[in-house]
A and B are shown apart, each in its own frame.
Chain A
Amino acid sequence: MRLQLTFASVLLTIGWTLGAPDGVDLAKPEDRTDHWSFKPLAQFKADQNIDAFIEKKLIDNGLTMSPAADRLTWIRRVYFDLIGLPPSPEQVTAFLTDTDSGGHERVVNQLLASPRYGERWAQHWLDVVRYADTHGFEVNTPRPNAWPYRDYVIAAFNNDTPFDQFIREQLAGDQFRKDAGTGFLVTAARLLPGQIGKDAASMRLARQDELGEIVINTSEAFLGLSVGCARCHNHKFDAISAKDYYSMQAFFAGVSYGDRPIQSPESEALNKQKEELKSRVREIDRAVAGLVPLARSGVERPPVNALLNVERFAPVKARKVRFTIQKTNLYEPCIDELEVFDSQGNNIALASLDVARSASGSKVEANRHQLEFINDGKFGNTHSWMCSEKTGWVILEFPTEHTIDRIAWARDRDGKYTDRLALEYVIEVTDDSENWQVVADSTDRRSVINIVNGIVDPGPGRTGNNVFENAFDGDIGTMTFTTNSGSESAPQRSLLALEEGAVHNLSRIRINDIAGNDNNGRMKQITVRVTTDPDADLTARTYSDVTHLSVKMFSGDADPLPNIVITSNTIEHLDTTHDGFYSIVFDPVPGATGIELEWVNEGKFKHWALREIEACSSSPEEPINQTGITTLDSEQQAKSKSLLQEKKNIESRLKEFSKSRTVFGGIFGKPDPVHILNRGDAEQPKEEVAPTVLSALGNLSLSKDAPEAKRRLALANWIANPKNPLTARVAVNRIWQGHFGIGIVETANDFGRIGADPSHPELLDWLATEFIHSGWSVKYLHRLIVLSDTYRQSEQIVAHANDKDTEVRLLWRFPTRRLEAEGIRDAMLAVSGRLNLKTGGPGFNLFSSRGGLSGFPPISKFKGDGLRRMIYAHKIRMEPDSVFGAFDCPDAGQSVSRRRQSTTPIQALNLFNSEFTIDESKALAKRIREDSGEKVPAQVARAYWLAYGRDPQPDELADAESVVRQHGLITLCRAIFNSNEFLFIP
């Protein structure tokens, strides 16, 4: 199956000089495919085993295996190794007393059956594929649907999915109803469209980068080959040409980065449930709408909304309803459905009830905008009526007269469109007499001025992060102020720009829902200024104070109402203990172009959020009083509140559904033609290539027009093939490395010629053969390895062996190693008793905000979901966790085939001084006291058992006892969490 090198590539070989290993004679043509890992697996006689291979090599080198480790060492080793957590004192005791034969097997079987196993071993794989929950690069925004892939990997390990199938599902899971598997394809960092230049060359380059990452991931993870460098030039050492690179890229030419729905029977059921919930939300909207203020009653009504508007009025006899649009926010008006309700709450406007319709004119787009859609009972833009002019009317005529009291209409009840919305309108009805009367119009609706931009200007001496997003866009958003330092009460300014070009008669600002944070102080004072300066730069405008400022609060929560004091343009004693709604009213400012709000917080102000802010134009004096905006009685209020609560609950469930139903697993479209690019330059395309596997390894080639899915599937089947000499070797080497900290081939991502040779080539081949025969069972391999004598050896250093083989590559002892970042955090939580074993789903936060301009301020206090295993953290690319990141935690920038074992003073500072350590020390101290009471020796013994699975020695007890007596149990716990015995896999 291997091909000879072509003459051309031999010639190229001669040209390679830069960076070649010294001493390699480059002038001499050589067969680069003549490399051990490219050759078929060796054949073996029956009844071989790991220990025989290891022993033989030891004997050849004048070494011997170490005696077996004691049982405590072994059980701690195998727990950390297989599930990443320490055994509990009970588990240790049970094993130490279970001296019947088969005790080791029983422990291993238990561990491999535990869901904790997948959580541990998935991490090894996620390191290789550089998994993260953010997009990386400069804005590093969340990739909210990445986690189904993480959960897929955990489940694949727990289910012992055959490794060949694991490969297929990651390349072509859509073909196996394992959509989440293809998250593998798109794990890399990527530029989002806004970060890519608007010029065509920048876009082509970005596309090449995206495809390049897929090729790199596939070749490194499965084949242990660095194909990526052949993007610009033929590989310097391996038999991989630029043509190979682009031919491999062609398998992925139809893959783009993005979310894709997960198809499964479960997801279809969920989908149905989701539709039901959506329809319930509509019912609630309608029910709540019945409680809105009456039109034309002198009470101000909410602004027009694209999603739904309800007009309520006193019952009136109607034969016809006329809806006249006088002004829209943009273009010709569009209404998705006009509903008219009788006093029993039935929609009597449906076409199915023989209701006729007419209009001033209609803009028709088949199956999207048609007059018939105004009352077809279907919502959304694709079932809507669009007027032919910017103003116009539509009339519904009922077969008979009805008594009606409510009309509902919307631009798009699906919430996708907000343009073409009627801002000014009038609704009239007539009975049989043809005497039209107005029942509702837009004059008593609050008119909102668009706020198009906003920034926060931190106060003097303040540095820190401010998020100012979506708080002014008409939807519920958040404006969060987070300030990391600064003097206690330095004010901050927020500057809001009104939409350009419009003539504004700004007279009010409404602030809805201020959510303070109890720990960090609340907002206590607002100063309001308005500008008419049209300068493009918000910060450069001059602002003047407003006159006749007053404030009205209408919130159900505030009781008693805050005792606000207004001095000139400043509102003082603003008590936001009750999250509330404020309307700030002042004399109209004609030509206003921007607003400045200066905020002052009480105490050491750090963090609070605004959900929504509105700017309103002047309107007649409103009869709003301080106790409430509506005229609802208490019963209605209660009903409204409970309905809205139900809606909120449903919406949060819907949000969960939508999260779990899609995966960032790539979008599959028609493949683009793939060309070899001269020196990797997207502007220099050369010959077109077909999807073809690496020429040194095979000759599978598809046609240039092969369908997309077929390409990935063909590649997957070629890789996941027992005859592929690399696949099984690379896989078993990774598993071996997981157990011993270093693989038989040290360079787990590189089985090429510059990579390391195997320390035990026969063992590697034998394991690969066993692996394939077992049906590619990873758990089978685990059993083989952890139950071997090699694995059971003592960890003690033997001087003469150490002199010969410091790195323990020949395994004359068990090579101990420090726990990884996740292992340390998880073990601390397990020992403190606070570990939350919730599995799956969206990750918990290690940072208090998720990027954008606010950066990543770390969380230091964790509770609830924050105490889950670290694999369930929302993994921020490139941003290390503030405590554990320093322990060589991969940053998900580049693939990490093996974690380093650095030892740094920053690690020591983090583990010794972080709030996390102190909190877990406190929790452990509490647990110890609960378990063993107030007697210090018993406390010390319990601490040792929980952390190390053993009794303290007399001198250890004496030292610890004196520390506990003088400095408290927490001090002992803190030392334990930092101790080598705790941090090392023995």
Chain B
Amino acid sequence: MKHDAEHLSPSGQQLLNRGAFLSNSATALSSIALTSLLGREGLLAGRRPVIDPSQPYAARAPHFAPKAKNVLVIFCPGAVSQLETWDYKPELIKQDGKPLAGGPAVTFQGPSGNLAKPQYEFRPRGQTGKMVSEMIPHLAELTDDIAFIHSLTSKSNTHGPAENFLSTGFVQDGFPSMGGWVSYALGSENQNLPAFVSIPDPRGIPQASVNNWGPGFLPAEFQGTPFSASKPVRHLTPPAGITTDQNQAARSLLQQMNVRHLEKHPGDGKLAARIASYELAARMQLSVPQIGDLSSEPAHVLKSYGADNASNPIKAGFAKNCILARRLIESGVRFVQLFNGAYASGGQLNWDGHKDLKKQYDVHAEILDQPAAALIKDLRDRGLLEETLVVWCTEFGRMPMFQKGAKGRDHNPDGFTCWMTGAGVKPGVSHGLTDELGREAIHDVHPLYDFNATILHLLGLDHEQLTFYHNGIERRLTNVEGNVISEVIG
């Protein structure tokens, strides 16, 4: 089973038929035979990974030497305000309460109110002296290690499509997620765990739900497997009433039956791959509960993450998810996506602070700050940041005005902040600018395509080369856009 048809690029075939070395009478068969040759020569449209169906998660080589081997994405759904966190705007303090001259009369939810100053104090941090908000004191301690991009833009001002855009490069439903692309390209270092794990927030799933970790049209192997410290992988064990013996007997009998069937169909790779998948499943049944069992974590670790916080169970729950994320990275899982926040709910359950931003952010920041900061420090202390890229992101930003009649900010896709730290990232960088009020990006403007292209680049992947053919188009994470943001690369 050297060459599944999936690996044969139709454009590659096209090319074969057009190439000078093949006559016009070249048959499909001879082009197929030559595909492997061309694949090695790098002549196919995209440099697609070759997947061995019996080992879909086998580690695969990137396009060029990577700076990072794996990725942790901390995703805060609901649109975290750049103005309350990392994009300090002294002019906005001055203009507090005044109307925004020439600003939009109507934004996503309705009429605009007046400009409103940042709802938290800012202080200079570390050696860079960058002003960071008091809302996130623990994360602020990491300022010197972070590369901020303050000038990102999104193509949608609606949460669902914008989450799609951030996670898949398209606003529509149904495109492969970034984690899917990465595990498709690189496989994983651990053959007993999924290559891509998605950890939902204790409060619920994000707005665009499975779009954020779905396979789209990539093979199903490359979808994220959702589980968290409190929610195990589905169907990891049989339902109550099935004994261990019965379980073992069913497995052995199945193995016998499948092997016998394979003997009658010698050489059938698909049948062999299914047998292998049951073996991998059996290994996952052992390794997933181990990885999710935090009982071996010492008290000081639990404490540093805030996982022992009995008075704030959501924070403790998120902190446990952070510890789980570290354990997954430690075990060589290629792509870990960690959610902080659930679906839109008038800002109750995620960062969608429309009504009373300060009050809601007090709650959300408490949940995010200590655990996420502890996670990054823990990764650093264990030396894991040498090879792990940590990305913090949100789908868009918020307006410098309050909404009319409210104390919160409306959606703003025109200029917002996400950041990276860890492997391959230039520390202490603040790249790109929004205007003096933080309304829109004005300098080094980067659509999220660029952000995603940069993540792939750090993993040794050329975002223009990582393609998958679907419905007439060699699809990419970055559509037909994307420029690597070299300023944040170390």
Contacts and interface: CB of A to CB of B under 8 A. Distances in A.
Contact of A878 (B214, B221, B317, B355): B214
B157 A197 contact: yes
B128 interface: no
B267 A802 contact: yes
B209 A855 contact: yes
B245 A747 contact: no
Interface string B340-373: 0001110010000001100100000000000000
B312 to A, nearest CB: 10
B244 to A, nearest CB: 11
Contact of B469 (A209, A540, A747): A747
Interface stretch (A378-386, A590-598, A751-759, A826-834): A751-759
- Residue from B220, B276, B277 with most neighbouring chain A CB atoms (10 Å): B220
Given A746-B10, A902-B220, A918-B242, A138 B43 contact: no
Interface string B315-328: 00100000000000
B235 A909 contact: yes
B100 interface: no
B107 A908 contact: no
B40 interface: no
Interface string A801-817: 01011110110000011
A934 to B, nearest CB: 19
A683 to B, nearest CB: 13
Contact of B474 (A19, A196, A805): A19
Given A21-B45, A198-B110, A912 B28 contact: no
B220 A816 contact: no
B220 A810 contact: no
B238 interface: yes
B211 A900 contact: no
B258 A903 contact: no
Interface in A96-146: 130, 136-140
A918 B157 contact: no
Interface string A965-986: 0111011101110111101100
B250 A909 contact: no
Given A461-B313, A809-B29, A905-B281, A971 B12 contact: no
Contact of B220 (A750, A795, A900): A900
A903 B356 CA distance: 48
B274 A903 contact: yes
Contact of B274 (A136, A795, A806, A983): A983
A855 B280 contact: no
A408 B29 CA distance: 82
Given A198-B110, A979-B258, A909 B158 contact: no
A618 interface: no
Interface stretch (B61-69, B197-205, B425-433): B197-205
Interface stretch (A152-160, A924-932, A953-961): A953-961
A895 B471 contact: yes
Given A226-B473, A463-B203, A754-B473, A893 B11 contact: no
Interface string B187-225: 000000010000000111101111100101101110101
B204 A463 contact: yes
B56 interface: yes
A229 to B, nearest CB: 6
A460 interface: yes
Interface in A314-364: none
A888 B173 contact: no
A327 B106 CA distance: 36
B159 interface: yes
A191 B174 CA distance: 14
A879 B472 contact: no
Contacts of B214: 878, 891, 893
Interface stretch (B129-137, B226-234, B434-442, B454-462): B226-234
A536 B210 CA distance: 33
A757 B473 contact: no
A742 B204 contact: no
A972 B267 contact: no
Sorting the interface of chain B by its residue count into under 10, 10 to 19, 20 to 34 or 35 or more gives 35 or more
Nearest to A855: B205
Interface in A864-904: 877-880, 882-883, 886-888, 891-897, 900-904
B261 A750 contact: no
A485 interface: yes
Given A537-B355, A894-B175, A908 B277 contact: yes
B236 A913 contact: yes
B300 interface: no
A915 B250 CA distance: 15
Interface stretch (B1-9, B119-127, B142-150, B386-394): B1-9
A799 B216 CA distance: 35
Nearest to A959: B256
B37 interface: no
B202 A463 contact: yes
B104 to A, nearest CB: 7
B173 A877 contact: yes
B286 interface: no
A139 B160 contact: yes
Given A19-B480, A855-B204, A912-B281, A967 B210 contact: no
A749 interface: yes
B161 A198 contact: no
A975 B257 CA distance: 8
Given A809-B29, A894-B217, A904-B221, A19 B280 contact: no
A561 interface: no
Contacts of A749: 471-472
B36 to A, nearest CB: 11
A872 to B, nearest CB: 22
A452 interface: no
A888 to B, nearest CB: 5
Contacts of A900: 6, 217, 219-220
Contact of A137 (B107, B160, B239, B278): B160
Given A894-B175, A971-B253, A979-B261, A19 B32 contact: no
Contacts of B12: 21
A19 B474 CA distance: 8
- Residue from B158, B194, B245, B317 with most neighbouring chain A CB atoms (10 Å): B158
Contacts of B266: 797
Contacts of B219: 888, 900, 902
Nearest to B317: A463
A754 B29 contact: no
Contact of B253 (A226, A746, A905, A959): A959
- Residue from A138, A198, A465, A907 with most neighbouring chain B CB atoms (10 Å): A138
A692 to B, nearest CB: 21
A788 interface: no
Given A225-B472, A956-B260, A968-B246, A904 B6 contact: no
Given A229-B473, A855-B205, A959-B256, 17 more contacts: A23-B18, A57-B27, A60-B27, A189-B172, A199-B106, A463-B317, A746-B5, A750-B10, A750-B471, A754-B472, A757-B13, A805-B32, A816-B265, A853-B343, A914-B235, A959-B257, A967-B245
Interface of A: 18-19, 21-24, 57, 60-61, 130, 136-140, 189, 191, 195-199, 202, 209, 220, 225-226, 229, 233, 237-238, 455, 460-461, 463, 465, 484-485, 536-537, 539-540, 742, 746-747, 749-750, 752-757, 759, 795-797, 799, 802, 804-807, 809-810, 816-818, 853, 855, 860, 877-880, 882-883, 886-888, 891-897, 900-910, 912-915, 918, 955-956, 959-960, 963, 966-968, 970-972, 974-976, 978-981, 983-984
22 contacts: A57-B27, A220-B472, A455-B348, A750-B10, A750-B472, A757-B10, A817-B270, A888-B219, A891-B210, A894-B172, A897-B471, A903-B277, A907-B220, A909-B233, A909-B284, A910-B235, A912-B251, A913-B239, A914-B239, A959-B256, A972-B253, A980-B258
Nearest 10 Cβ contacts at the A-B interface: A893-B174, A138-B160, A226-B472, A750-B472, A894-B174, A893-B173, A908-B281, A902-B220, A905-B281, A756-B10
